[in-house]
A and B are shown apart, each in its own frame.
Chain A
Amino acid sequence: MAKLIRNRRVVADNWLLLELGAGGALPPVPAEGDVIVPLTVWLARRDALAVRLGQTGVWLDSNEGAETVAADLRRLPLIAVRFAAFTDGRGYSTARLLRERYGYSGEIRAIGDVGRDHLLNMQRCGIDAFALREGEDAEGALQAFEELPASYQASVVEPQPLFRRRVAG
């Protein structure tokens, strides 16, 4: 099983990530087990997927925003947000919108080009699970959460900006 960080712990990953086939062909979805399907698959077959044995999550590519699944959130135990490259920051907005605007409380998982130095901001935007890219040291990456403990902004993990926390304190 691949290693995953979830809620700041290294855990085994039981989810199978399905990709689109060549030319965007929809992949077959196994009848059992937990799977994360591409958005296109979800949109095309969500009613069929809802009755399969095993859980079904969806993954959003960098250009697929939170609004694409906003109506389905209660049926989705997991939404993965793909970072095509760590420099592509769209996923941060996607995660934040899922949490703050649409009130999503299931797992949001970062997939793709996910490395240690990006975990902190991802977490602040509401991502709580991280499928690290190849070659990353998952145990070592946990230290990243200890960096920069103080912050100015409101975020998913700290809903009040510092200036309101100061007044309250």
Chain B
Amino acid sequence: MYIYDEIDQKIVDQRVEQFRGQTQRFLAGKLSEDEFRALRLRNGLYVQRYAPMLRVAVPYGLLSSKQMRMFAHIARKYDRDYGHFSTRQNIQYNWPKLEEVPDILADLATVQMHAIQTSGNCVRNITTDHFAGVARDEIVDSFVWCEIIRQWSTFHPEFNWLPRKFKIAVNGATSDRAATEVHDIGLHAVRADDGAVGFRVVIGGGLGRAPMVGHTIREFLPWQHLLTYLEAALRIYNRHGRRDNIHKARIKFVVKEHGVQRFREEVEAEWLQLKDGPNTLIQAEVDRIERRFTRPAYAKLPGRDAALDALLAADTAFRHWHMRNVHPHKVPGYAAVTLSLKQTGVPPGDATSAQLDAVADLADRYSFGELRVSHEQNLILADVALTDLHALWGEAKKLGMATPNIGLLTNIICCPGGDFCSLANAKSIPVAQSIQERFDNLDYLHDIGEIDLNISGCMNACGHHHVGHIGILGVDKGGEEWYQIEIGGNQGEVRPGMRASLGKVIGPSFARAEVPDVIERLIECYLENRDSEAERFIDVAHRIGTEPFKDHVYGKADPQSPRRRRQLAAS
């Protein structure tokens, strides 16, 4: 955890008072609806279909048990006893009262939390790998760099009214678990031959209605120049981004319209003016930020635990959970554990106040009092001793957070959709649930293997449907809810060598009730075509293309399909 110093605390406290004043002026009729809208949005407050929605920042997805208990407190006191973890690694409350929001923010500030820039046309929450600091393939601890960028971007005077929202993701490992190629700016830590740390800078990715994969505009940016380079890129965007059309206002359109080469030259030219100026980072600051992060006091443990091995051999259910929800750790004797928020029957990413409190307790007892939120909308205990895994599994099961589905079909990323969101064209949560219900057989799920299924209730793509191996998009047709299916999307280089890609629509959309059947057909087609269990759905989709899937779904299937041929040969 990054621990605030006095100034960090003061900045958050000041903002609570500023926002309280803005809210009071609005309620007193001294601030127009339009103006207050823009002001409240940059403090995470939307007015939604039924009530306001408050999005609270979880900077880069890292939080303490104390902060998690505060989330539970807020859910109980100001909301309907639950919160929703979003794909931005934040938490959202769907039922707060507008006039109580300043009090919620004041409560949050007591545990070093806030809702600053969780919406609005400004730099949003910086996101990163949920295994930062513990991953075996770590290059740098991305949390440190995220915090440096968080401070730089918090109330940046020049970039507070950008053409559109701006999302920065940082990846500090070899694998990209932060989907950095589909962000406005993605930063990839690189270590030069001499050990010097720098970043590869990717610009112009993004989802939404015109999804694009970003472009590398600089292969190696020495860390000292991180902020001046960001400042240059943001300035080019602030000056040249389109303001006449909200649908063409993201930085990706500037990159597209100017062309990558020209855009790069513009940023580099601006950067030359700022380079080596006061915003040039210094080692003392990096060290200071690093020291303000608490670090787990790991015990010296053996890399294997015989008792654990025996339990794994004896208990299939535990083994399944271990296989899917337990992840390797860079410190011997420890593992990272995902607590799944994807239990069938519960909206993906939702957690009750009782669960939030209970998870905070688990974090205290098993993981040095810290937690992470993943962009896949699960919670993570990053530092669990191997000797504790079985006990933790037992407790997580009681909480309904041990569904062994991480990386599997039912670990669905899903936006709040038409049940809550006023932008949505269609509901998304019931679709997720109907798919989870259809694929409730664990053996079958494990046989299908790794697959990302993402659902968005509209083309704003909060559910990241473009980068799901299977993506589902809710669309409105003459007032009715329909669902378009894409396949072949990939969130990024989770496995080295496979860059981010965007899904392709397989054909006309479906009614909600048809969706589970369609998913089943896609899975059938995959199983028929895979060359081995090691070949994942996405690998097959990239190898054979969308046509065979399309044919299988829309009924033009070749009777001589591989499976059919095998059946014929067997008979």
Contacts and interface: CB of A to CB of B under 8 A. Distances in A.
B100 to A, nearest CB: 21
A10 to B, nearest CB: 18
B278 A159 contact: yes
Interface stretch (A26-34, A71-79, A90-98): A90-98
Contacts of A117: 22, 31, 35, 39
Contact of B157 (A155, A160, A163): A155
A152 to B, nearest CB: 4
B38 A87 contact: yes
Given A86-B38, A93-B235, A152-B155, A167 B161 contact: no
A9 interface: no
Contacts of B484: none
Nearest to B240: A90
Most chain B C-beta atoms within 10 Å of own C-beta, residue among A101, A124, A149, A151 = A151
Contact of B161 (A88, A96, A149, A163): A88
A149 B7 CA distance: 10
Contacts of A153: 152, 155-157, 279
A150 B151 contact: no
A93 B239 contact: yes
A103 interface: no
B517 interface: no
A120 to B, nearest CB: 8
A47 interface: no
Interface string A139-153: 000000001111111
B152 A89 contact: no
Contacts of A125: 157-158
Contacts, number: 100
A57 interface: no
Interface in B1-55: 7, 10-11, 14-15, 17-18, 21-22, 31, 35, 38-39
A163 B288 contact: yes
Contact of B278 (A92, A93, A160): A160
The interface size bin for chain B is 35 or more
A52 interface: no
B35 A115 contact: yes
A124 B157 contact: yes
A92 B159 CA distance: 8
Contacts of A159: 278
B297 interface: no
A92 B161 contact: yes
B291 to A, nearest CB: 13
B155 A148 contact: yes
A154 interface: yes
A50 B541 CA distance: 70
A148 B282 contact: no
A166 B238 CA distance: 29
A115 B30 CA distance: 12
Interface in B151-190: 151-152, 154-163
B285 interface: yes
A90 B243 CA distance: 10
Contact of B239 (A90, A152, A154): A90
Most chain A C-beta atoms within 10 Å of own C-beta, residue among B152, B157, B238 = B157
B151 A162 contact: yes
Contact of A88 (B7, B154, B243, B277): B243
Interface in B193-251: 227, 235, 238-239, 243
Interface string B270-284: 000100011101101
B121 interface: yes
B154 A152 contact: yes
A62 B239 CA distance: 9
Contacts of A154: 277-279
Interface in A107-141: 115, 117, 120-121, 124-125
27 contacts: A62-B243, A89-B158, A89-B160, A89-B161, A92-B159, A92-B161, A92-B238, A93-B235, A96-B158, A101-B273, A125-B157, A147-B18, A147-B21, A148-B11, A148-B15, A148-B18, A148-B155, A151-B157, A152-B11, A152-B151, A152-B154, A153-B279, A161-B278, A162-B151, A163-B151, A166-B285, A166-B288
Given A87-B38, A161-B279, A166-B288, 18 more contacts: A62-B243, A86-B35, A86-B38, A86-B161, A89-B159, A89-B160, A89-B161, A90-B238, A92-B159, A92-B238, A93-B238, A101-B273, A151-B11, A151-B157, A152-B151, A153-B157, A153-B279, A166-B285
